[in-house]
Amino acid sequence: MAARQALQVHLDLLSQPCRALHILLACTRLPHTVRHVALRRGEHRTPEFTEINPMQKVPVMVDNGFILTESDAIIKYLVNKVDEYTAWHHTHTRPHAAKVFLLEVLLPAQTGSPVEAQRLVGALSQLQETLDQLESMFLRRQPFLCGDDITVADLLAVCEIMQPEGGGRDVLQDRPLLQRWKSRVQAAVGDAFDQAHAVLYALRDRRRAKL
Amino acid sequence: MAARQALQVHLDLLSQPCRALHILLACTRLPHTVRHVALRRGEHRTPEFTEINPMQKVPVMVDNEFILTESDAIIKYLVNKYDVPDHWYPRQPERRARVDEYTAWHHTHTRPHAAKVFLLEVLLPAQTGSPVEAQRLVGALSQLQETLDQLESMFLRRQPFLCGDDITVADLLAVCEIMQPEGGGRDVLQDRPLLQRWKSRVRAAVGDAFDQAHAVLYALRDRRRAKL
């Protein structure tokens, strides 16, 4: 029988903030248990899960009975760290990258309708502005978003930027500066990067196979 | 000659996060200088301000040349660094995590949903001269209602403040967002006694600083009323 760890996280690896948390746990080697929650199968709406998290969202952390939601609160709790990027992340990187994935993959999959081209153009444009700002504000003269070292900010950002890959779209295609940053992040976290993104890669590959 | 403080903040008191920071500074009595930036006059786009903050947003803090944007990063930095009462952003990891939990949720719920009501009722009509877009407003109010429901059921269930028994920076951020529609004469807590009681507790805890921070917003509300 597997030992019950005090620290438990409930994750769906199709969710960007879940992947960031997953990578952090892998890198820091904090002992923990992962419970997988499949959002697309509605597992976040079961009575059992709702009892843990009435918000019905992932990720959620349970540490010796202390229940915590919100990925950056969880991550910070785990490393006791505060920085400026994560606030901006929630109003820029996360919504703008997520919207592209929503329009290209999620909505068509759920509704059976074709991609709404007009909205997608708008979402891509907004994402371009955000990527411009990432390059000019956070990566100007430093290798990582918050300085010389990788921080939780880099994990949160890279996972959002990866999400459109689920639809086969590399949003960094023409951005060598961000590509170099992403390579540094991948190098810093090692195997944990691809392990966390395995589900997303599988989605991308399944969609490609259908074309 | 007034002493130049090492800590400087650039604020527009029509901005909700600026007010939260203003109230925190008043409550903690940290020595500081306030530079007012009038967004409606485009003062955030001047070359001088852009040099301080290329994001062209408020609030921004300068502490001995260390420049920081994003209201909750600034607020947390100040509480972390300076000797202020611990309850604002407790050091104990679980209590601190609760504040982080709220401030993350704040950015995706309280802030956008309350701000949208103010945008539709006050800002857009003022800027465009067009009437209020009634359909969009109905949708925005509905979304805000859901968020207020969640504030009551998730964060204020069995506790007097959003993150526990004591006021924290979370309460400041939230109350300033919830006040914003007042600029258009709308009290979004009108039928919500639980949230009204919470707001009274926050006001009692911060004293005069509350009305001082909201003076500009009240003035806007009163000017609009006078025109009716």
Average pLDDT of the segment spanning B152-178? 96
- Of B70, B94, B104, which is closest to A72 when you measure between CB atoms? B104
Average pLDDT of the segment spanning B12-38? 95
Instruction: Please give the residue of chain A at the shortest CA–CA distance from B78.
Output: A82
pLDDT exceeds 90 at position A115: yes
pLDDT exceeds 70 at position A2: no
Q: How far is CA B169 from the centre of its chain?
A: 10
Q: What was the pLDDT predicted at B6?
A: 87
Express as a percent the part of chain B with pLDDT over 90.
Answer: 91
Strands (E), chain B: 7-11, 33-36, 60-63, 66-69
Q: Are B96 and A77 an interchain contact pair (Cβ–Cβ within 8 Å)?
A: yes
Q: Which is more confident, B152 or B6?
A: B152
Residue type, B9: V
Distance between start and end Cα atoms, chain A: 44
- Of B55, B73, B100, which is closest to A73 when you measure between CB atoms? B100
Are A125 and A171 a contacting pair, CB within 8 Å? no
* A110: number of Cβ within 10 Å: 10
Instruction: Please give the residue of chain B at the shortest CA–CA distance from A83.
Output: B73
pLDDT, tens digit, for every residue of A118-148?
999 999 999 999 999 999 888 988 899 988 8
Count helices and strands (H / E) in chain B: 10, 4
Q: Of B1-5, B30-34, B128-132, B134-138, give the lowest mean pLDDT range.
A: B1-5
Q: CA angle A80-B91-B82, nearest 5°? A: 105
The strand pair at A60-63 and A7-11 is best described as antiparallel
Strand partners, A36: A11
The strand pair at B60-63 and B7-11 is best described as antiparallel
How much is the ipTM here?
0.75
pLDDT, tens digit, for every residue of A170-202?
999 999 999 999 999 999 999 999 999 999 999
pLDDT, tens digit, for every residue of A64-93?
788 999 998 999 888 753 345 666 788 888
Supply the mean pLDDT for chain B: 94
Average pLDDT of the segment spanning B102-114? 96
pLDDT, tens digit, for every residue of A154-172?
999 999 999 999 999 999 9
Q: What are phi and psi of A57, to 5 degrees?
A: -130, 165
The full length of chain B comes to: 228
Express as a percent the part of chain A with pLDDT over 90.
Answer: 71
Q: Which tokens sit at A89?
A: 């992340």
Best mutation target, A84, A94, A140, A156, to test chain B (most B CBs within 10 A): A84
Q: Which residues of B touch A (CB under 8 A)?
A: 54-55, 68-73, 76-77, 80, 93-94, 96-98, 100-101, 103-105, 107-108, 150, 153-154
pTM of the model: 0.75
Average pLDDT of the segment spanning B24-38? 95
Confidence of residue B2 (pLDDT cuts 50, 70, 90): very low
Average pLDDT of the segment spanning B26-51? 94
Average pLDDT of the segment spanning A92-99? 91
Distance CA B34, CA B22 (A): 9
Instruction: Please give the residue of chain A at the shortest CA–CA distance from B80.
Output: A82
| Shortest CA gap A157–chain B (Å) | 15
| Shortest CA gap B66–chain A (Å) | 12
Query: Tokens 């209020």 correspond to what residue?
Result: B132
Distance CA A132, CA A123 (A): 14
| Shortest CA gap B70–chain A (Å) | 6
The strand pair at B66-69 and B60-63 is best described as antiparallel
Residues of chain B with Cβ-Cβ distance to A72 below 8 Å are: 100, 104
Q: Are B100 and A69 an interchain contact pair (Cβ–Cβ within 8 Å)?
A: no
